[in-house]
Amino acid sequence: MIKTAVCDDEKIVLDKICSKVQNAFSEINCMAEIFKTHKPFDLVEHIKNNTTDVLFLDIDMPSLSGMDIAQFLIDCNAEILLVFVTSHDTLVYQSFRYHPFGFIRKSHFDEEIGAVVKSIADELQKRNEHFSFKTNEGFFKVPFEDIIYFESESNYINLHCTDNQYRFRGTITSLENELKAKGFIRTHKGFLVNQQHIFAIKGDDIELSSKELLPIGRTNRESVKKAILRYMR
């Protein structure tokens, strides 16, 4: 069940959006539970007190704008997939700083909702995937989204996660073959990095969400940069 919230200050538009979102999820065999409101402050209270996977949000609302709510999501570190819905195309560019998952133009809602919903389902499925491995302490399972990078050290792998580190036997090449389809990229002979945690490219280094800098290997520098830029788009 995908916990979904929809907010638009126009009740008639809100009902139409909810119906179309529900139908789009049904078409890809996903069940969505939708909370809807035309009151932005009610939406904020709902998010504070309930699990929310995805939010379809009107940008231009009088009492509390969509961008104000987006800033609230950032401030409270809410892991919600934010989709801006707008009738003002120019506002899309202003909203980039809030890192929305997607945009839907109200004038093209029917054409765009299907692709956005499919991307949402794929992203949520990816978040639920785990990497399993064995250390001297036992077996562990870590969500892919929590993995920042793998570091090769002789016959061992150091696994750097958002809140922990692990060490297990293995090779970086075997991990690359296993995980390249999961969004991991070999940036250097000694590093396999989760592209989700790449924050920026700085010269011949990449900056990670952890603020660490890792080198980009000389031999595959151009291909790595192209892959990272393609992913970041």
Mean pLDDT highest for which of 7-21, 47-61, 173-187, 208-222? 7-21
CB 57 within 8 A of CB 7: yes
pTM, 2 dp: 0.59
Region 183-197: mean pLDDT is: 91
**Positive or negative torsion for Cα 171, 174, 180, 186:** positive
Q: Assess contact for 123 and 101: CB atoms under 8 A.
A: yes
The residue with greater pLDDT, 85 or 63, is: 85
Q: Are 56 and 17 in contact (CB under 8 A)?
A: yes
- pLDDT classification of 222: cutoffs 50, 70, 90: confident
Residue 183 DSSP class = T
When pLDDT is averaged across residues 185-213 and rounded to a whole number, the result is: 89
Mean per-residue pLDDT, 3-12: 95
Residue 233 binned pLDDT confidence (cut-offs 50, 70, 90)? low
- The pLDDT score that the predictor gives to residue 198 is 87
List Cα–Cα distances, 24 to 17, 19, 58, 126, 195, in angstroms.
Answer: 10, 9, 18, 19, 28
How far, in Å, CA of 74 to CA of 85, rounded? 18
Task: Give me the phi and psi of 198, to 5 degrees please.
Answer: -85, 120
